[in-house]
A and B are shown apart, each in its own frame.
Chain A
Amino acid sequence: MKVNPSLMEKRNRAFQDPVLLTTIVLVVALLLLFVLMPLFSIMKGSFLDKNGTISVSAYISLFHNKNFLTAFRNTMKLGIIVGITSTIVGFLFAYVRQCVKSPFKKLFSVIEIMPIISPPFVLALSAITLLGRRGLITYRLLGIRDFDIYGLKGLIVVQTMVFFPIAAMTLDGLLENFDVALEEAARNLGASRLKVFTSVRIPMLASGLANVFLLSFIESVTDFSNPMILGGGYKTLASQIYIQAIGNYDTQTGTAIAAILLLVTVAVFVVQKAVLDKRSYITLTGKASRTREMIDDKSIMIPTNLICLLISFWVLLFYVFLVLSAFFKTWGADYTLVTKNFAYVFKYSMKPVKDTLLIAVLAAPIGGLLSMIVAYLVVRKHFFGRRFVEYVSMLGMAVPGTVFGLGYILTFNTKPLVLTNTLWILVIVLVMTRLPVGVRSGMSALRQIDPNIEEAATDLGASTTKVFTSITLPLIRPAFYTGLVFSFVKSMTAISAVIFLVSANYNLLTVRVMQHVDKGQFGYAAALSVILMVIVFVAVGIMNLILKRLGHSNGRTNMLQ
């Protein structure tokens, strides 16, 4: 008997299904055009000198450039420190939520959510109000005359506040799935609570902690807005890309820095994947395990709660003063509350508000649907190029926003595809930068669905499209809707990629804020930030309300969660 490799046959089957084939071709084309091409442009740009000939001169001069070397060291140093601080604070919050008795759990989860759904730069604005050279705490309250928030320490404080929630939520999931029986077994064998913590919990969470550290590291080194606002003389790579390419019109240096930053983040991302894949003791069994007994030992309960409370008040303080500073008459001098800042932005910034809303409303559903389609293809279909689709759609996770932004400018301001100055380049870049998160959540939702259910539909005569729309999509609806809300929020608050792509035709709120900050108009910046946050909170509230309504109309979505 002749043996044909069965893989070829499976792949050939795609050709029997024209809709599936078209979808695959379309997805591959989108990924090539809007993920790989921009990155290729960056690479190409960094190897072309001013006369258009290939050279490594940009890299050579970079490595002789003191400023660049300092920025590189700064970025790494900041990344490592913030990686550690975010992991520690994140772990503390996750631990208290999952394992320790606490009356403040609601408060803590609000504190975790706030930085995730607010624009990334608002805490930096507050930091200047509270801790700046004429800050309310430093100058007014403590009377320090020469305190300087700008630089490393300011960035550490603010970035930790912004990035610890992601660490907390990741670790939260790990702790939640931690089998209680293991702890009980250790206690049963005579281990004290401390011993259980150090000998069972920490070793089992080691890969999770390493993962969270690397995630926070990537967040920190790709952060654009906080170093722009709060960096002062402390320069980092992500902001330097913008300053060189846009501020100094030096595309070659900009792209070379972007290429190096990309190299760093991709390398860390690969390490992170390896860490995650190698040892994961936490398994989802789907078996309902007993609820954990919360630790009510006062020697643990009081200090952990106290620290979390202090951090929470600290974060809250920043938000309260962001709102207040939108009403201050003169930033840093006259603290009378007036509404002139709002009057100004309502007069001059309504167009960016509308543009931002329009673009987010477009980007969220397009991105949401695309993510689910890509996730479906990757998890359920066998076709030539499946790995390519999986990896390229995930690649965005490792690409700093500034790198994407610069890559888009380089790729789409020349023929054949000119998109700069349009609405669509903003929509597309937002869709593509959100794609990895959407695809990942779609994939994990799909993996929890018995593939037999889809096979049953096929068996009853449903085509691929019919299976997807009548069975798959309804089943992953919770993940889809959550993704939609999240993607809307992120589209509203994005800054690092879009700042390269706004134009006279389409400006965005976040970029407008940065423009005000640039001119020292902190009052306007704060007022606009408050408006942005109000829009986001209201939108999230409405969407949650609708989702709850939908969720109640049928009791089945919850059984999938």
Chain B
Amino acid sequence: MKAKDVKLQNLSKVYPARKGTGKDVYAVDNISLDIQPGEFVTLLGPSGCGKTTTLRMIAGFERPTGGDILLGDKSIRNLSPDRRDTAMVFQTYALFPNLNVYDNISYGLKIKKLSAEAIRKKVGDILDLTGLTGLQDRHTNELSGGQQQRVALARALVMEPGVLLFDEPLSNLDAKLRIQMRTEIRKIQRAVGITAVYVTHDQAEAMSMSDRIVIMKDGHIVQVGTPKEIYYSPADEFASNFIGTANILHGTVQEVAANGNLTVSVLDTVLKGVPCATAHKVGDPCTLVVRPEACSVQESGLFPAEVTLSTFMGSYQLYELDLQGSKFTVHENNPKNKHIYQAGEYTHLSMDIADIHVI
């Protein structure tokens, strides 16, 4: 399998202003991205962020207004979709209702004019790989949602494209199947070693499947990074809130140490030795991000707090705290043998300063 790299260079998609409004719509605004061969990259963002438009530009269904798309170092900007070495798995599956499973999967191979023997072999292999063996004579309306999903995947995979494109492929499945399918897609992608670009608005999907996540908002890229990087070192408040739950505190830089660590005053507390990767000056306002599971509610701690909500969630106790007017969420893990505070109690919020991320 010849996995290819994908390069997006200053890619833009502008829809001309509708009469009367006078403002062009920048669906995708000057984004650049390098995707390595065999890499699984997820475009993640709320609806309208430009992720699907970007994917459709790679597939060739939308023409870029500006910039270029390189697949394996060759520009594919001016190729029509049928001549691109891409294969897409659609949100609606888009199986051909007039063809059975076998004919759906072999559709593209027949257009490539492969020999009947080669087609039979390839389709057989892909049926095995996707666990569809035995269903090849079924009609598409005789399949369950998960099976239709597999056919859509098989139909794209069998083409051995340079890059595999996924447009929210799991959004029509029920919750349990969605989780099962995402591991399966990831397994198959790893086994085949194909480059994949995956669009979703589901952060759990993005976290569990991707080598790298691209967070998008309003046609811009907010952050590119591994799931870990994105989770622990979000680039801004938007990124920190979009992936997982985040507590945000606003403070002022009091001191910058030689190693870059900061002393920050937050609310009425001064935090020393806050790790920081970005340059700050004394007197700068700064934003601190802490994940709820990195915090704890205790008798003593960094900040005095009032418990406003205390709910047992099974694997953790959910607290909502009032920190002098700021709302703060805490997940106290494995609460079975811990002291549980009730709403209305006054207590303290405790955390390890090393768990704080400064934006």
Contact = CB atoms under 8 A, between A and B. Distances in A.
Interface string B70-97: 0000000000111110111011101111
B111 A462 contact: yes
A195 interface: no
A133 B139 CA distance: 64
Given A452-B91, A461-B111, A1 B96 contact: no
A452 B82 CA distance: 14
A453 interface: yes
Contacts of A463: 82
Interface string B281-323: 0000000000000000000000000000000000000000000
Contacts of A10: 63
B59 A459 contact: yes
B66 A474 contact: no
Contacts of A460: 82, 87, 107-108, 111, 155-156, 159
Given A6-B65, A460-B87, A556 B98 contact: yes
B297 to A, nearest CB: 48
B30 interface: yes
Nearest to B90: A452
A9 interface: yes
B82 A1 contact: no
A461 B86 CA distance: 9
B98 A475 contact: yes
B50 to A, nearest CB: 14
A16 interface: yes
B256 to A, nearest CB: 38
A10 B84 CA distance: 17
B329 interface: no
A38 to B, nearest CB: 34
A60 interface: no
Interface stretch (B7-15, B173-181, B228-236): B7-15
Contact of B14 (A6, A462, A556, A560): A6
B82 A559 contact: no
A556 B141 contact: yes
A538 interface: no
Interface in A1-34: 1-7, 9-10, 13, 16-17
A13 B30 contact: no
Contacts of A103: none
A339 interface: no
A19 B97 CA distance: 25
Interface string B4-31: 0000001011111000000010000010
Contacts of A475: 97-98
A461 B82 contact: yes
Nearest to A451: B94
Contacts of A1: 10, 12, 30, 65-67
Contact of B82 (A3, A459, A471, A555): A459
Nearest to A17: B80
B175 to A, nearest CB: 22
B338 interface: no
A466 B111 contact: yes
Interface string A466-478: 1000110011000
Interface string B87-122: 110111011111000000001100110000000000
Contacts of B90: 452, 455-456
Contacts of A301: none
Contact of B13 (A2, A6, A474): A6
A458 interface: yes
Interface residues on B, range: 35 or more
B97 A457 contact: no
Contact of A456 (B24, B30, B96, B98): B96
B55 to A, nearest CB: 11
Contact of A13 (B12, B16, B80, B96): B80
A450 interface: yes
A455 to B, nearest CB: 6
Nearest to B152: A456
A130 B51 CA distance: 72
A121 B146 CA distance: 57
B159 A559 contact: no
Nearest to B27: A6
B232 to A, nearest CB: 34
Nearest to A555: B139
A461 B98 contact: no
B61 interface: yes
A456 B94 contact: yes
A474 B140 CA distance: 15
A450 B24 contact: no
B88 A459 contact: yes
A559 B15 contact: no
A474 B100 CA distance: 13
Given A471-B98, A556-B97, A560-B97, A458 B82 contact: yes
Given A6-B14, A450-B94, A462-B82, 9 more contacts: A1-B12, A3-B66, A6-B65, A453-B94, A455-B61, A456-B96, A458-B81, A461-B159, A462-B111
Interface of B: 10, 12-16, 24, 30, 59-61, 63, 65-67, 80-84, 86-88, 90-92, 94-98, 107-108, 111-112, 139-141, 155-156, 159
Interface of A: 1-7, 9-10, 13, 16-17, 450, 452-453, 455-463, 466, 470-471, 474-475, 554-556, 559-560
24 contacts: A1-B10, A1-B65, A1-B66, A2-B66, A3-B16, A3-B66, A4-B66, A5-B16, A6-B63, A17-B80, A452-B90, A453-B94, A453-B95, A455-B88, A455-B90, A459-B59, A459-B82, A459-B86, A460-B82, A460-B156, A461-B159, A474-B98, A556-B98, A559-B141
